[in-house]
A and B are shown apart, each in its own frame.
Chain A
Amino acid sequence: MAVLTRFLGDISLAEEAVQEAYATALERWPKAGIPPSPAGWIIATARNKALDRLRRESTRADRERAAQLLADQEESEEQEESEEHDVRDDHLRLIFTCCHPALASEAQLALTLRLLGGLTTDEIARAFLVPVSTMAQRISRAKAKIRDAGIPYRVPEVAELPARLRAVLMVVYLIFNEGYSASSGDQLVRPDFCDEAIRLGRQLAELLPEESEVIGLLALMLFIDARRDARAAGGNFVKLADQDRDSWNQLHIEEGRYLLRICLERNRPGPYQLQAAINAVHCDAPTTADTDWQQILMLYDQLMAIAPSPVVALNRAVAVAELDGADRALRLVDEIELPQYHLFHAVRADFLRRLGRSADAAAEYQIAIEKCANKMERDFLVRQYRSLADK
């Protein structure tokens, strides 16, 4: 897709051509056998289908375009050795196009999942709980805007790169978060979204190895994903402190540590690297009691200094509770404004419970339960709430 989009300069045309090529493959491969390079075959076939179509539809402008493309093709065939390199560059171009700031963030997410994640419009619509027709319209509108507004299909220049990269990393991390903690529904985790985000993260790290935040994001996702199975044991949500640490994915943790060491050597900290470091500290502790909360608090302080947000302040308060007690932590939480976030209420309820203020804790758990849209997390909060009454 990415290769063809560059070649044709039009995402919709590329998509139709790829679909036609797959249809031809379905007819031909069972009889003739699978060609030695299936991906290459699809690209070549789709390229020819698109050229045919441009010639057929033949307004003069299209014929001129087809002729130009044909000339370009002959030229590019001379450089077949760099083909693999081109494919990687094309992915990078496509992701920057999908995450262009002139597109609304929901359109960026949908386009990235559709064009780079290869998810169907149906799957994306289901994930975001909108009707399929709404999602189809959102995607086709975004594609039309890319074409009509002339959103370029290229990697931004050095001066623009940091700001543009931030948008790309945010889209990838949003996809990951939607997978790791489904914002709604019965399932706690959507593994396909996590895997897809990590795959995109790896791709970005391979394409932009000099960008420490790209490496940091990949490390962060690997650390969090390592706990994916432990977090949903036996169909129930398990909080970090109670997880079976032996079931954490050690390969992911090792890779995350390796990436984090690269970041440390470069010493260009950023929000994703710091969050990865915090998660590394959790992963380093053989038991919950061994967790180095001092180190975690220090990292949160650094994070608050470069990227302050109410969510970071809330997480910092959790570390404070471990070090200085729930009383101090509660005072910090009461200064944070996050009334719509269920975890804000869950954290506050937990502090109140620890302080023995059962009635206040119960009321707070009720709000948390009300605000929580994920069934498994809600069940967990209900269990916490009930255990309060048992005492």
Chain B
Amino acid sequence: MKQYLLSVCYPAGGSQPAPAALRKIMSDVTALQKEMQSAGVWVFSGGLHAADSATVLRHQNGDIVLTDGPFVESKEQIGGITIVTVADLDAALFWARKLASATTTPIEVRPFTEYGD
């Protein structure tokens, strides 16, 4: 079994969907999470606050320095993540497809490294 990270991507500074659309998205995402759980593939899911709520820590001259804001300013941001455990990429893509339909946003699928990789 392999683990995959499914990231919800959206353009930085984009506007939120209208409340009714957002309610539909939330209920679809919740239903999908239940489906993943009963299929036994779900590991973790969570939504993230906007990137400007981030704090970055860096090594600097033997010290750790904190900076306010995201590690990189990028056009695409990650709005939430889901981790699944499945047999292979095709199975991960099966769930990612459902997630893309539920969130109506692009989904990035990335494999985790494994012991021995």
Contact = CB atoms under 8 A, between A and B. Distances in A.
Interface in A144-182: 148-152, 156, 160
B87 A59 contact: no
Contact of B111 (A61, A148, A156, A160): A148
B116 A61 contact: yes
A152 B115 contact: no
A323 interface: no
A150 B2 contact: yes
Nearest to B94: A160
A160 B88 CA distance: 15
A164 to B, nearest CB: 9
Contacts of B115: 61
A62 B93 contact: no
B90 A149 contact: no
Contacts of B111: 148-150
A156 B116 contact: no
Contacts of B109: 149
B116 A152 contact: no
A150 B88 contact: yes
Interface residues of A, number: 13
Interface string B14-37: 000000000000000000000000
A341 to B, nearest CB: 31
A312 to B, nearest CB: 30
Nearest to A153: B88
A40 B79 CA distance: 53
Nearest to B86: A150
A152 B90 contact: yes
Interface in B83-115: 87-90, 92-93, 109-111, 113, 115
A156 B89 CA distance: 12
A62 B116 contact: yes
Interface residues of B, number: 15
Contacts of A102: 89, 93
Interface in A39-63: 59-62
A156 B109 CA distance: 19
Nearest to B2: A150
B77 to A, nearest CB: 23
B1 to A, nearest CB: 9
A59 B116 contact: yes
Contacts of B117: 148
B88 A152 contact: yes
Nearest to B90: A152
A149 B89 contact: yes
Contacts of B93: 102
A61 B115 CA distance: 8
A156 B91 CA distance: 11
Nearest to A65: B116
Interface centre among A59, A100, A149 (most CB of B within 10 A): A149
A22 B89 CA distance: 33
Contact of A156 (B90, B92, B113): B90
Nearest to A61: B116
30 contacts: A59-B116, A60-B116, A61-B115, A61-B116, A62-B116, A100-B89, A102-B89, A102-B93, A148-B111, A148-B113, A148-B117, A149-B89, A149-B109, A149-B110, A149-B111, A150-B2, A150-B4, A150-B87, A150-B88, A150-B89, A150-B92, A151-B88, A151-B89, A151-B90, A152-B87, A152-B88, A152-B89, A152-B90, A156-B90, A160-B90
A234 to B, nearest CB: 51
Contacts of A156: 90
